[in-house]
Amino acid sequence: MTDTQSLKKTMQGLTPRAIVEALDRYIIGQKDAKKAVAIALRNRWRRQQVPDELRDEIYPKNIIMIGPTGVGKTEIARRLAKLAQAPFIKVEASKFTEVGYVGRDVESMIRDITEIGIGLVKAEEREAVKVQARQNAEQRLLTLLLPDPPVTHGFGDRADDDDQIEKSKASVEATREKLRSLLHKGKLDDREVELEVSEKTLPVFENFSSQGIEEMVVNISDMFGNAFPKRTKKRRVKVPEALELLEEEEASKLIDSEKVVKEAIERVENSGIVFIDEIDKVGSREGAGGGPDVSREGVQRDLLPVIEGSTVTTKYGPVSTDHILFIASGAFHVSKPSDLIPELQGRFPIRVELNALTRDDFARILVEPKNALCTQYRALMATEGIDLSFEDDAVSEIARIAAEVNDSMENIGARRLHTVMEKLIEELSFEAPEIGPQRVPITAKYVRERLDEVLAREDLSRYIL
């Protein structure tokens, strides 16, 4: 089964209900947002099933998620991309500047997601050829450890010479098989071998692919990299490292680069997800007439063609954005969605409002998700021999404190739990190597003892929690 067929089979099993259930394992609440992204993802698969003549006419329904910070906007989009095994990139709208200003232009996000797509497909291809690459690497390593015997012909009978050469080769192969057995058992790990590894050298040109002079269509390093001979240098490395280097080299030989690029661009164009965070930061404030708002509106206008559908030039070739799914998000504390220019509002037909998290939500976040904070701290402390257990009343108390701090100060959502938990476990984390192994129960009393004093001093809690 090819990677594309495997991907299609995965997508077929991802019904909207299954997607929501998968998201529930990591994100608490926000049913409306989960439902919206589940339908959007399922529509990607549905589009692939319709006849060719209609397929290109079906465009993704982009989503804008509105809600305070720390309620799960980014996490929903990130987990969605993992489920779909799709190229995914998160960008911040505030990092972009209007064309003509110093900074990143909006097309850079398409170039970046193409790079991510290439990496994704290349990793899959490497996995597919892993066994063959390992075998080839092992054979090369054994040849380095025990080279082929020199071929010499004497002045006697040619047939006798050939027999002698064959016997010598057979003897070497038998010895190599013994070495292979030792290699698998790890008994050659301390031996060193000399390898020739390629050294990437470039002429004295700067690579302009960072902020500022963006990519200049293709990187100068890509333009000139192949025009100069590849230099190699000899390195003495231990057998395990040599095997890794050789395996990587052999895998590169087995992978068809053109096929990787073609598959990656196709995947980006048909299943790529671009998450544009802080979209509210490029919205013009009501009543503002100049200054930075001019540039903000310029960024919005630059976003329009990319989101609506255009072709962006990358170093791998042109990439169409017609069927890339764009998910935007913003807190919209100062501005409102209606402050975005009307054309951009129209590019996001689906609007979902995410709710602020409550005390009960915090209690669930601490214990229910697969990567719950309590589970993470238990695993961290277990490495020091500390058996950490969180009582139910302790979880409720932590949730109460986090909710109170959010109410009295800036509401940063679930991120507040990280600061509260870190302060709670601080002393134990510091002393763990000296006091383990032992069982440490975290009770409501323990929580109050550690945190109530900080909470009581508002000036202190403002900086610590």
Q: 137 pLDDT exceeds 80?
A: yes
Binned at pLDDT 50, 70 and 90, residue 376 comes out as very high
Does residue 95 fall inside a structural domain? yes
Among residues 214, 229, 254, the one where a domain terminates is 254
The predicted pLDDT at position 239 comes to 83
Q: 393 pLDDT exceeds 90?
A: yes
Q: Name the least confident of 92-96, 114-118, 375-379, 380-384.
A: 92-96
The predicted pLDDT at position 204 comes to 42
- Same domain assignment for residues 15 and 57: yes
Q: 399 pLDDT exceeds 80?
A: yes
Q: Name the least confident of 32-46, 57-71, 177-191.
A: 177-191
Mean pLDDT in residue range 180-202: 76
- Same domain assignment for residues 327 and 399: no
Does residue 343 fall inside a structural domain? yes
The predicted pLDDT at position 210 comes to 40
CA–CA separation, 3 and 120 (whole Å): 11
The predicted pLDDT at position 282 comes to 84
The CATH number given to whatever domain includes residue 8 is 3.40.50.300
Instruction: Report the b/e string of 103-113 with b at 16+ CB within 10 A.
Output: ebbbbbbbbbb
Among residues 330, 353, 376, the one where a domain terminates is 353
Pick from 412, 329, 315: nearest CA to 91: 329
Does residue 265 fall inside a structural domain? no
The predicted pLDDT at position 5 comes to 54
- Same domain assignment for residues 247 and 153: yes
**330 vs 228 pLDDT, higher one:** 330
**149 vs 114 pLDDT, higher one:** 114
Does residue 279 fall inside a structural domain? yes
- Same domain assignment for residues 366 and 343: no
**How large a percentage of the chain has pLDDT more than 90?**
32
Does residue 288 fall inside a structural domain? yes
Pick from 264, 260, 240: nearest CA to 252: 260
Binned at pLDDT 50, 70 and 90, residue 325 comes out as very high
Pick from 302, 305, 383, 300: nearest CA to 345: 300
Q: 286 pLDDT exceeds 70?
A: no
The predicted pLDDT at position 208 comes to 41
Does residue 60 have a cis peptide bond before it, meaning omega lies within 30 degrees of 0? no
Among residues 293, 324, 353, the one where a domain terminates is 353
Pick from 75, 70, 30, 29: nearest CA to 420: 70
Q: Name the least confident of 123-127, 295-299, 317-321.
A: 295-299
Mean pLDDT in residue range 84-111: 80
Q: 458 pLDDT exceeds 70?
A: no
Pick from 274, 299, 114: nearest CA to 209: 114
| Count of C-beta atoms within a 10 Å radius of residue 213 | 11
CA–CA separation, 279 and 39 (whole Å): 22
Binned at pLDDT 50, 70 and 90, residue 116 comes out as very high
The predicted pLDDT at position 319 comes to 94
Binned at pLDDT 50, 70 and 90, residue 212 comes out as very low
- Same domain assignment for residues 137 and 107: no
Structural domains in the chain (count)? 3
- Same domain assignment for residues 380 and 338: no
The predicted pLDDT at position 139 comes to 86
Q: Name the least confident of 25-29, 239-243, 347-351.
A: 239-243
Instruction: Report the b/e string of 116-151 with b at 16+ CB within 10 A.
Output: bbbebbbebbbeebeeebeebbbebbbeebeeeeee
Please provide the average confidence, as pLDDT, over all residues in the chain: 81
Does residue 259 fall inside a structural domain? no
- Same domain assignment for residues 332 and 382: no
Tokens read off for 232: 């190699």
- Same domain assignment for residues 445 and 329: no
Binned at pLDDT 50, 70 and 90, residue 441 comes out as very high
The CATH number given to whatever domain includes residue 425 is 1.10.8.60
- Same domain assignment for residues 85 and 158: no
Does residue 69 fall inside a structural domain? yes
Task: Write out the residue range of the structural domain in which residue 134 sits.
Answer: 130-254
- Same domain assignment for residues 134 and 243: yes
The predicted pLDDT at position 211 comes to 40
195, 246 Cβ separation under 8 angstroms: yes
Mean pLDDT in residue range 347-356: 90
- Same domain assignment for residues 301 and 404: no
Tokens read off for 77: 């989009």
- Same domain assignment for residues 139 and 80: no
Binned at pLDDT 50, 70 and 90, residue 175 comes out as confident
Mean pLDDT in residue range 418-433: 91
| Count of C-beta atoms within a 10 Å radius of residue 70 | 20
The predicted pLDDT at position 53 comes to 86
Does residue 266 fall inside a structural domain? no
205, 221 Cβ separation under 8 angstroms: yes
Q: 2 pLDDT exceeds 60?
A: no
Q: What is the pLDDT of residues 219-254, one digit of tens each?
A: 555 555 555 556 777 878 888 888 888 888 888 889
